[in-house]
Amino acid sequence: MTFDLTKIVRPKIYNLEPYRCARDDFKDGVLLDANENPHGPTQPGLEGSGLNRYPDPHQLAFKTAMANFRNGENHQYKDLPQPLTAENLCLGVGSDESIDAIIRACCVPAKEKILVLPPTYSMYSVCAHINDVEIVKCPLITSDNSFQANTDEVIKTAQNDPSIKLIFITSPGNPTGAKVETSRIEKILQNWDRGMVVVDEAYIDFCGGSTAPLVTKYPNLCVLQTLSKSFGLAGIRLGITFASKEMARVLNSMKAPYNISSLASEYALRAVQPDNLKVMKQLSLENKSQQHRLVKELTSLPNVHKEPIGGLDANFILLRIGNGDGDNDLAKKLYYKLATESGVVVRYRGSELGCTGCLRITVGTKEENDKLVKEFAKLLTQLTSN
């Protein structure tokens, strides 16, 4: 395959001269270059915080630590040309910003398309609509409850439609919780070079086996990760795109120069220090044991399917409520009563492909799960006994 990024990225974006500030060249001294407030923040308590200054536009220390972390975890890919470096990364305001940026970089509005594999994360479609980009669907395999990518169908669909520029694969899936086998992702990467394959790994630390190191081997791969899930930092809004150095350069030149705030930068850097990475891994493991407990206790209830739907590779479970193929009406009522009568909020997913009657439940703390199980059982009995 001969991959040519200049044919994938819109020319004006590929050739974009990024915004440059004087601070790119000079960081110290009397700083009169950026029209900041020299007196500092106006509210008391923030003196000396430095928050009157624009943040660092590059986050090199965080990117380097994150690249090293993913390199260090990689025990499975032996023949990679190079390890990841900071130059393979671009940071966004959550992966939601990264999704939008990749669509804008590659798809000409009203002309080009993205391919998604439903049931999947809905932001790909939202961002596509915002950018006037059409959506083609190639469903995951639902018949065997594997929720794997239908590899041959994905390749055929993408090969037959030259206007498709991006394939979004969520692994582990949302709402399916199933990690897409790496061999399937590699097969798609090896058989389609007219665009980028974007693997969204928001939940990867709950199962391991990131494909991020593969961006040094496949120039048509972008991998999205986030600090919102396993790192417990949804509030700082920090998403990471791993890509070839060439693609990462494009994404970095497109982004607003100060998209990552000083506070987000600081917390992100702390999160990738060795001790905190250990805590992240430990908590992800603990999440597994609570996840298994929830599956066991909730699937033993009458009117709940005995097997969860999809996989257990993320930090949630997907349960089918009702007999037979699932009952959307019952699932919706249970969802509503849980929120309004018990104060427990889960997510109704019954309208997603292959998910009739499904509720998606995030694994909480032990105490939160205790409450969920008790209220879930009580309300389900009430709803099915009259």
Ligand X SMILES: Cc1ncc(COP(=O)(O)O)c(C=O)c1O
Looking only at residues 21 through 80 of this chain, which bind ligand X when binding is defined by CB under 6 A? Answer: none
Alpha carbon distance 98, 126 (integer Å): 13
Q: How far is the CB of 36 from ligand X (least distance, A)?
A: 28
User: Does the protein bind ligand X through residue 100 (CB under 6 A)?
Assistant: no
User: Does the protein bind ligand X through residue 200 (CB under 6 A)?
Assistant: yes
- Residue nearest to ligand X as judged by C-beta position: 94
- Which residues of the chain form beta strands (DSSP E)? 89-92, 113-116, 134-137, 164-170, 196-200, 221-226, 239-242, 316-320, 347-348, 358-362
Select from 95, 148, 216, 265 the one that contacts ligand X (CB under 6 A).
Answer: 95
Q: How far is the CB of 260 from ligand X (least distance, A)?
A: 12
Select from 102, 107, 202, 304 the one that contacts ligand X (CB under 6 A).
Answer: 202
How large is the angle between the packed helices 366-385 and 328-341, nearest 10 degrees?
A: 130
Name the one range near ligand X by CB under 6 A: 13-21, 67-75, 93-101, 275-283. Answer: 93-101
Q: How far is the CB of 241 from ligand X (least distance, A)?
A: 11
Select from 65, 84, 89, 94 the one that contacts ligand X (CB under 6 A).
Answer: 94
User: Does the protein bind ligand X through residue 130 (CB under 6 A)?
Assistant: no
Alpha carbon distance 377, 386 (integer Å): 15
Nearer to ligand X, 311 or 322 (CB): 311
User: Does the protein bind ligand X through residue 241 (CB under 6 A)?
Assistant: no
Q: How far is the CB of 139 from ligand X (least distance, A)?
A: 17
Binding mask 203-232 toward ligand X (x if CB under 6 A, else -) reads -----------------------x-x----
Nearer to ligand X, 34 or 234 (CB): 234
Alpha carbon distance 20, 23 (integer Å): 8
Q: How many CB atoms lie within 10 A of CB 30?
A: 6
Nearer to ligand X, 70 or 337 (CB): 70
Q: DSSP assignment, residue 88?
A: G
Question: Which residues touch 378 (CB under 8 Å, ≥6 apart)?
Answer: 342
Q: In the numeric block, which tokens belong to residue 109?
A: 């509005």
Binding mask 134-173 toward ligand X (x if CB under 6 A, else -) reads ------------------------------------x---
User: Does the protein bind ligand X through residue 311 (CB under 6 A)?
Assistant: no
Nearer to ligand X, 117 or 250 (CB): 117
Longest dimension (CA), the chain: 75
Name the one range near ligand X by CB under 6 A: 53-61, 94-102, 146-154, 288-296. Answer: 94-102
Nearer to ligand X, 358 or 379 (CB): 358
Q: In the numeric block, which tokens belong to residue 144?
A: 């065997």
Q: In the numeric block, which tokens belong to residue 96?
A: 């939601």
User: Does the protein bind ligand X through residue 315 (CB under 6 A)?
Assistant: no
User: Does the protein bind ligand X through residue 352 (CB under 6 A)?
Assistant: no
Pairing outcome for strands 239-242 and 89-92: antiparallel
Q: How far is the CB of 122 from ligand X (least distance, A)?
A: 9
Q: How far is the CB of 212 from ligand X (least distance, A)?
A: 14
Binding mask 172-191 toward ligand X (x if CB under 6 A, else -) reads --x-----------------
Alpha carbon distance 202, 168 (integer Å): 13
Nearer to ligand X, 226 or 244 (CB): 226
Size of the site for ligand X (CB under 6 A): 12
SS3 string, 271-334, reads HCCHHHHHHHHHHHHHHHHHHHHHHHHHHCCCCECCCCCCCCCCCEEEEEECCCCCCHHHHHHH
User: Does the protein bind ligand X through residue 239 (CB under 6 A)?
Assistant: yes
Burial code of 286-322, b = ≥16 C-beta within 10 A, e = fewer? Answer: ebeebbeebbebbeebebbbeebbbbbbbbbbbbbbb
Strand ranges across the sheet with 358-362: 316-320, 358-362, 347-348
Q: Which residues bind ligand X (CB under 6 A)?
A: 94-96, 121, 170, 174, 200, 202, 226, 228, 234, 239
